[in-house]
């Protein structure tokens, strides 16, 4: 690939995850495409449709002209409506149609990446008619593709790749959201610190510090007197942060040491993906 060096990490992570998805779904029979996934209201077919649709948008393909049914009650926002369009338009596609389109889309995107010469700060298409930098777009595609690979693995009973290149992109994306979760959403007190101790395939210790003005920052230095420490395994962290599970369902996998009320508030607000 000829992408800018700062984009290579995202290109590699995306390639690993998208090829893993293709391998996972290639042998599926028709009924398996209808299995529910942890991604709310989406089946295996829906998740793959979303991945295909987002890659088509990265390729600059026109959006489908399609009217969503009125009974999609999980569609509660314009952003959700935007995302659902690429999904619903493929809901009646057969297994061979799905795998063929996925394979062809991967070929096209891989070719695009091989020939990519644009600078990381080039503005490109983003959802809802917005624009974003190429670097952000590639970063989010790497994160999103890995997260949906995990959805598919859970649905199909094929765990794996929790420490793949995409996992580390996901870690960094999710960590960026922690200050808002702790300081604003959960209302941690001023001049306090909250520690997150995550173990497993991806391990890290991070401290969110809330300053006197209530603003949060995150760093890798331990705190000597955190108001609360939350310890959990990496898979649980991802499932909570991506909104795949509620805190009550994994309370046996999360240890809260310190202010239990604040810990519960943080866990309630932990989901950061749309």
CATH second-level architecture of 5-162?
Answer: Up-down Bundle (1.20)
Which pLDDT band, with edges at 50, 70 and 90, does 270 fall under? very high
| pLDDT tens for each residue of 250-262 | 999 999 999 999 9
d(CA 10, CA 146): 11
| pLDDT tens for each residue of 213-231 | 999 999 999 999 999 999 9
One-character DSSP codes across the chain:
----HHHHHHHHHHHHHHHHHHHHHTT--GGGGG-B-SSTT-BHHHHHHHHHHHHHHHTTPPPP-----TT-TT--SHHHHHHHHHHHTTTT--HHHHHHHHHHHHHHHHHHHHT----TT-EEE-GGG-EEEHHHHHHHHHHHHHHHHHHHHHHHT----TTSHHHHHHHHHHHHTHHIIIIIIS-PPTTEEEEEEEESSS-EEEEEEE-TTS-EEEESS--SS-SEEEEEEHHHHHHHHTTSS-GGGGGGGEEEEE-HHHHHHHHHT-----
pTM over 0.75: yes
Which pLDDT band, with edges at 50, 70 and 90, does 2 fall under? low
Residue 18 pLDDT exceeds 70 = yes
- 231 Cβ contact partners less than 8 Å away, ≥ 6 residues apart: 196, 197, 198, 199, 254, 255, 257
| pLDDT tens for each residue of 198-211 | 999 999 999 999 99
CATH second-level architecture of 177-268?
Answer: 2-Layer Sandwich (3.30)
Matching CATH topology for 5-162 and 177-268?
no
Write down the domain spans for the chain.
Answer: 5-162, 177-268
Stretch 123-131: mean pLDDT: 95
Stretch 15-25: mean pLDDT: 98
| pLDDT tens for each residue of 146-182 | 999 999 999 999 999 999 999 999 999 999 999 999 9
């Amino acid at each position: 690939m000829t992408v800018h060096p700062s984009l290579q990490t995202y290109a590699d992570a995306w390639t690993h995850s998208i090829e893993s998805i293709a391998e996972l779904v290639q042998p599926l029979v028709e009924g398996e495409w209808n299995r529910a996934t942890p991604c709310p209201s989406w089946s295996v077919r829906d998740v793959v449709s979303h991945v295909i649709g987002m890659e088509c948008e990265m390729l600059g393909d026109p959006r489908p002209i399609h009217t969503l049914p009125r009974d999609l009650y999980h569609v509660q926002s314009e952003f959700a409506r935007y995302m659902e369009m690429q999904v619903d338009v493929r809901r009646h596609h057969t297994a061979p149609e799905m795998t063929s389109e996925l394979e062809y889309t991967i070929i096209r995107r891989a070719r695009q990446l091989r020939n990519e010469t644009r600078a990381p700060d080039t503005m490109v298409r983003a959802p809802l008619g917005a624009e974003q930098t190429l670097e952000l777009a590639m970063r989010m595609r790497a994160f999103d593709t890995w997260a949906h690979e995990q959805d598919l693995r859970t649905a199909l009973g094929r765990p794996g790749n929790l420490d793949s290149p995409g996992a580390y992109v996901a870690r960094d994306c999710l960590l960026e959201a922690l200050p808002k979760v702790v300081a604003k959403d959960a209302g941690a007190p001023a001049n306090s610190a909250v520690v997150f101790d995550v173990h497993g395939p991806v391990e890290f210790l991070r401290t969110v510090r809330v300053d006197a003005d209530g603003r949060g920052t995150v760093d890798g230095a331990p705190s000597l007197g955190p108001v609360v420490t939350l310890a959990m395994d990496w898979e649980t962290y991802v499932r909570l942060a991506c909104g795949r599970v509620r805190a009550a369902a994994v309370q046996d996998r999360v240890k809260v040491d310190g202010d239990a009320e604040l810990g519960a508030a943080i866990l309630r607000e932990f989901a950061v993906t749309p």
